[in-house]
A and B are shown apart, each in its own frame.
Chain A
Amino acid sequence: MGSITLKSVRKAFGEVEVIPGVDLEINEGEFVVFVGPSGCGKSTLLRLIAGLEDVTDGQIMIDGKNVTDASPAKRGLAMVFQSYALYPHMSVRKNIAFPLKMAKMPEAEREKRVQHAAGILNLTDYLDRRPGQLSGGQRQRVAIGRAIVREPSAFLFDEPLSNLDAALRVNMRVEISELHKKLATTMIYVTHDQVEAMTMADKIVVLRAGRIEQVGSPLELYRSPANRFVGGFIGSPNMNFIEGEVAAKMGAHAIGVRPEHFHMSTSDGLLGGTVGVAEHLGSDTFLHIDLDNGPHIIARAEGEFPVHHGDRVYLTPQEGRVYRFDQNGLAI
C-alpha cells in the first residue's frame, strides 16, 4: 500500500502552464522530498496528488489504481498543511477524530485510535484543549495526529515546519523522520529547505519551473548532480561555479566546486584570491574569497584556519571533486 505513479501529469491555470509534464514513480514506504525554489510548482504537484487540484492532462495512479478523477477523500491520502488547518472550534480530540467521524466509525473505536495517536505524538495531556491554546509545535503534532488516525496509504506534507522557529524545526524534523520509521508509510514532503531534504529523504525530487531536474537519493544528488541547477541547489553553502580560463583548461564551460572541497593554503595553489569576510565558527571556518579576476566564492576549512580580512589565500580543488558543466549547464 502506498505506491504512487505520475504519468506525464500536466497542469495549467488558464493560460499559464505551471507543470509542463511530470513522470514520477514513488515506491511503497518511501520518504520522498520535493525541493525547489519558490514558485516552482511543488505545492501544485502535491495538491494534484492529493486531488485538491484537477490535472489538466496525464494520469495519477495510487497502488496501481487510476485515481485521476477521484475525489480527495477517495484517494486514501492524508495531508498536513503549512498553516496546519486545524478546526479552531473543536478540541484537539475532536480535531483528531474528525476524519474517523466522517468515516462513520463507532465512538469506541474512534476514541481508541485517538488515544493511540495522542500517545505517539505526546498529545495525551492536551486532548481537551482548543488549537488556539497550543504552541506551534503542538499544533503541528495535532495536524499530524489527524493525518495518522486514518491510517492513510500515504502522507503528504506541504512545508509543515516553515512556521516553526529554528530549534523546534530541528526537533520536529527528527520526530517526523522517526514517525516514518515507525509507521513505514509512504510520505511525500514538500520543502524549499535543502537541509530538510538532505536529512529526511530516501529520495529527493528536485524541481525547477514545474520540471523535474533530477531524482535520486540525497548522496547521489550530492555526488553527481545532473546539471548546474541541482549542483547549486543541493549542499550548503552553495556550490561555487567558476567559468573562463580555469574551466576551459579542464575542458568545460564551467566547473563547480563545493566549499568543502578546497585545499586551502596561504602560500600556493591553483586559484589565488583575497579574503573578504572570514567566519570563524571554531568547528569550521567559512571564507568569502574574491578570486583574482574571477568570481566571489565561499570555501570551508575544517577546524580553525587563521586568516583575516584582506589576507591572500590559495585554493586547490580536491581531486575528483570538481564537477564539469557544458554550455547548457548539463554535467559532463
Chain B
Amino acid sequence: MATRQTQSLARLMRAPAIILLLIWMLVPLGMTLYYSFLNYNLLSPGTTSWAGWFNYQYFYTDPAFFQSIWNTLVLVLGVLLITVCGGIAIALLIDKPIFGQGIVRILVISPFFVMPPVAALIWKNMIMHPSYGVFADIAKFFGATPVDWFAQYPLLSIILIVAWQWLPFATLILLTALQSLDGEQVEAAEMDGASAFARFTHLTLPHMSRAITVVILIQTIFLLGVYAEILVTTNGGPGYASTNLTYLIYRAARLNFDIGGAAAGGIIAVILANIVAIFLMRAVGKNLD
C-alpha cells in the first residue's frame, strides 16, 4: 500500500524532468527528420520543397559515405584500444608507490583539461609538424626522414591525438577500480602460487571488468562524434582519408550549405550510433548487471 503510493508519487515528481528531457530530445530529432526530407539549401533559402528520399539517396551514393562510416569505426575502435590498454598500463604504474606520486598523477590527468581544438592544434604544430615538430626533431636526430603525419597517416594521427585526450579519463576510472582491489585477495593469490602475470589475468582484470565496460561505453558515445580534432588538423583529408560521419555531415551543412543533406546524414549517424550501442550492450553490457 505504502509502496504503491510512494511509487505513484515518485512517478508524478519525476514527470516534469522526464517530459522536459523528452521535449529536449524529440524536438531536434523531429526537426532533423523533417529537414532530411526537404530540398533545403542555404544558398537559396526561400525555395524549399519536398525531396522524398532524395537526400538519403544522395548521401548514400556519395563516394565518401562508406569510407566515412569505416573511418568512424576505425577511429572509435583504435582510440578504445589505445586508451583501455594504455589506461590499464598507466593505472598499474601509478598505483605503485613512487617518488612524486601526487605530481605524476596530476600530470597524467591534465590532458583531459585541454580543450580538443587546442590539443589538436598543439599536436599539429608542435609535435607532428614535419619540419619543426618534436617527432620530426627526433627523426632527424636519428638521421631518418621526418614523417609528414597528417599527409601520410591522417587517420592514425587523429587516432593518436584523440587517444591522448581520452587516456586520462580511462586511466582515472581504471585506477580507482584498481585501488579498490582487496589486498588480502592479492596476498591469497600470492600464497596460492599465482605469478604476477597470473594474478593480473585471474584477479586484477576480472576485478576491473566493470570499470573497463564503463570506459568503453562512455568513450564510444563521445568518440562517435569526434569532429574538432579533424577540423583543425586534416580537414578530413587528404581526399576523404580522415573524414568520419560527423565530419561528413559538417561538410554537407557548412561547406555546401545543404541543410537537407546534412539532416539526412544526421539521421544516418543516429542509426549508426544505435547499431553500435546495441552491439556494445550485447558485448559488454552484461558486466554491468
Contacts and interface: CB of A to CB of B under 8 A. Distances in A.
A and B pair up: yes
A81 B190 CA distance: 13
A52 B191 contact: yes
B89 to A, nearest CB: 22
A73 B182 contact: no
A150 B191 CA distance: 11
Interface residues of A, number: 23
Contact of A81 (B187, B198, B206, B207): B187
A51 to B, nearest CB: 8
Contacts of B189: 87, 98
A253 interface: no
Interface string B175-201: 000000010110111111111001000
A14 to B, nearest CB: 13
B191 A79 contact: yes
- Residue among A71, A72, A150 with the highest chain B CB neighbour number at 10 A: A72
B254 interface: no
A85 B183 CA distance: 9
Contacts of A50: 191
B206 A79 contact: no
A99 B184 contact: no
A89 B193 contact: no
A150 B189 CA distance: 13
B139 to A, nearest CB: 44
A81 B183 CA distance: 11
Nearest to B188: A85
Nearest to B184: A85
A167 interface: no
Given A98-B202, A102-B198, A85 B185 contact: yes
B203 interface: yes
Contacts of A102: 192-195, 198
Contacts, number: 58
A83 B191 contact: no
Given A89-B206, A98-B202, A52 B187 contact: yes
A93 interface: no
A87 B202 contact: yes
A85 B188 CA distance: 7
Nearest to B190: A72
- Residue among B188, B198, B207, B209 with the highest chain A CB neighbour number at 10 A: B188
A208 interface: no
Interface in A71-110: 71-73, 77-79, 81-83, 85-89, 98-99, 102-103
B207 A98 contact: no
Contacts of B185: 85-88
Interface in B146-163: none
Contacts of A73: 190-194
- Residue among A72, A81, A85, A86 with the highest chain B CB neighbour number at 10 A: A85
- Residue among B187, B190, B191, B207 with the highest chain A CB neighbour number at 10 A: B191
Interface in B58-86: none
Contacts of A72: 187, 190-191
A82 B188 CA distance: 11
B198 A79 contact: no
7 contacts: A51-B191, A72-B187, A85-B184, A87-B185, A87-B188, A89-B207, A99-B191
Interface of B: 182, 184-185, 187-195, 198, 202-203, 206-207, 209
Given A88-B185, A102-B192, 12 more contacts: A51-B191, A72-B187, A73-B190, A81-B184, A81-B187, A85-B184, A85-B188, A87-B203, A87-B206, A98-B189, A102-B194, A102-B198
The 3 closest A-B pairs by CB, nearest first: A73-B193, A99-B192, A85-B188
